[in-house]
């Protein structure tokens, strides 16, 4: 009989442990208590006094006006009883319910910001003919010039274009160009757009006069240190004609640091008596929408109790095994 009692106690202790773990994982829900009743303040009432009201003097022949003080009405028993009943029975107020705030209005998606300063060349030029916001470079031994070109046939939009010119180069491979450094976001994609045309007074021969672009992804300003020059496949056109064909180029680049420098250069290949004009207009560098994939933060879920079922299942399995062994012991002791 002692073995039976011991095993019964073991079983009882195990089930109590199971109940305790279950309660720990299922915290009791607190009932929402209604707010305390709101007491309606009563207007102060005058307390009747035992002071007798003086009697007016007997009337005389001459009536003299008498100032009579306004008496405060004394509440009747019915009024006092009604006030008592109103005070003893508080007015039930409905529970306060929280109204969720309205969703914020949708924000308008703004267009990508233009990074180049004066890329359309409508914001002014310096006295040297260079557009505001840009810097210039060349490698000498030729006539080089930067001009504010307002000739309508070579202005693609607005009233101005940037003209860079190489005249009578004395050596092979003469270069002239402009550049600008801008702030960017690392690892962001950007769309580069170039517009313009190439004009010269010489035949359109191979590598005669060409336009190139390049990017220093570290934000450097030495055009000769850049080795990623890309040739624009724009055909050479006559120096002067009735109508020109505007050329366009668009590509995607990806930044690596916090700044980069855009270079654009004109190239005259051969030393000869010639004039090459390179007109640039509507240059643009904009961020590509959705090009940057930032980390998305997830908000925690509120109003919900998470239950870890792993220890509960393990404990139940253990209790079943112990219960089976204890039961076997009980059966064995009765045999």
Digit-coded pLDDT (tens) for 55-82:
555 555 454 444 444 444 555 544 444 4
Q: What pLDDT is attached to residue 248?
A: 97
SS3 string, 144-186, reads EEEEEECCHHHCCCCCCEEEEEEECCCCCCEEEEEEEEEECCC
Mean pLDDT taken over the chain: 77
The SS3 assignment for 66 reads: coil
The more confident residue out of 212 and 15 is 212
Digit-coded pLDDT (tens) for 108-124:
555 689 999 999 999 99
| Sign (positive or negative) of CA dihedral 113, 119, 121, 124 | positive
**Residue 35 CB-density burial (10 A; 0-12 exposed, 13-18 middle, 19+ buried):** exposed
Q: What is the mean pLDDT of residues 201-225?
A: 92
Give me 192's structure tokens.
């580069």
d(CA 99, CA 114): 43
Q: What pLDDT is attached to residue 70?
A: 45
> Where residue 295 falls among pLDDT bands split at 50, 70, 90?
very low
Q: What is the mean pLDDT of residues 208-228?
A: 97
Q: What is the mean pLDDT of residues 187-209?
A: 91
Q: What pLDDT is attached to residue 80?
A: 43
Residue 330 contacts residue 4 (beta carbons within 8 Å)? yes
Q: Which of 2-16, 149-163, 319-333 has the highest mean pLDDT?
A: 149-163
Digit-coded pLDDT (tens) for 240-272:
998 999 999 999 999 999 999 999 999 999 999
pTM (2 d.p.): 0.57
DSSP 104-129: PPPPP-PPPPB-STTTTS-S-B-TTS
Digit-coded pLDDT (tens) for 31-53:
455 555 555 554 544 444 454 55
Helices 309-334 and 2-25, interaxial angle, to 10°? Answer: 170
Q: What pLDDT is attached to residue 318?
A: 77
CB atoms within 10 A of CB 304: 7
């Amino acid at each position: 009989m002692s073995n039976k009692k011991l095993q019964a106690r073991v079983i009882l202790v195990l089930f109590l442990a199971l109940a305790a773990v279950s309660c720990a994982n299922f915290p009791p829900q607190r009932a929402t208590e209604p707010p305390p009743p709101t007491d309606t303040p009563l207007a102060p009432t005058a307390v009747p006094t035992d002071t007798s009201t003086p009697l007016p003097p007997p009337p005389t022949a001459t009536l003299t006006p008498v100032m009579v003080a306004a008496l405060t009405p004394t509440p009747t028993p019915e009024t006092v009883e009604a006030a008592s009943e109103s005070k003893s029975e508080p007015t039930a107020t409905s529970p306060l319910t929280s109204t969720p705030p309205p969703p914020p209005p949708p924000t308008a998606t703004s267009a990508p910001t233009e990074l180049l300063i004066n890329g359309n060349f409508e914001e002014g030029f310096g006295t040297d003919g260079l557009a505001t916001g840009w810097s210039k470079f060349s490698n000498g031994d030729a006539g080089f010039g930067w001009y504010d070109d307002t000739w309508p046939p070579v202005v693609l939009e607005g009233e101005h274009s940037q003209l860079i010119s190489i005249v009578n180069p004395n050596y092979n491979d003469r270069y002239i160009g402009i550049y600008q450094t801008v702030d960017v976001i690392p690892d962001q994609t950007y769309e580069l757009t170039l517009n313009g045309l190439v004009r010269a007074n010489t035949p359109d021969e191979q590598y005669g006069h060409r336009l190139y672009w390049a990017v220093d992804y570290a934000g450097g300003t030495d055009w000769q240190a850049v080795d990623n020059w890309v040739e624009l496949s724009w055909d050479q056109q006559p120096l002067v004609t009735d109508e020109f064909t505007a050329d366009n180029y668009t590509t995607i680049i990806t930044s690596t640091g916090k700044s980069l420098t855009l270079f654009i250069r004109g190239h005259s290949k051969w030393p000869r008596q010639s004039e090459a004009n390179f007109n640039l207009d509507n240059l643009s560098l904009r961020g590509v929408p959705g090009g940057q994939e930032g980390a998305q933060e997830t908000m925690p879920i509120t109003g919900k109790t998470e239950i870890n079922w792993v220890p509960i299942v393990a404990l139940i399995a253990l209790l079943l095994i112990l219960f089976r062994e204890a039961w076997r012991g009980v059966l064995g002791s009765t045999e």
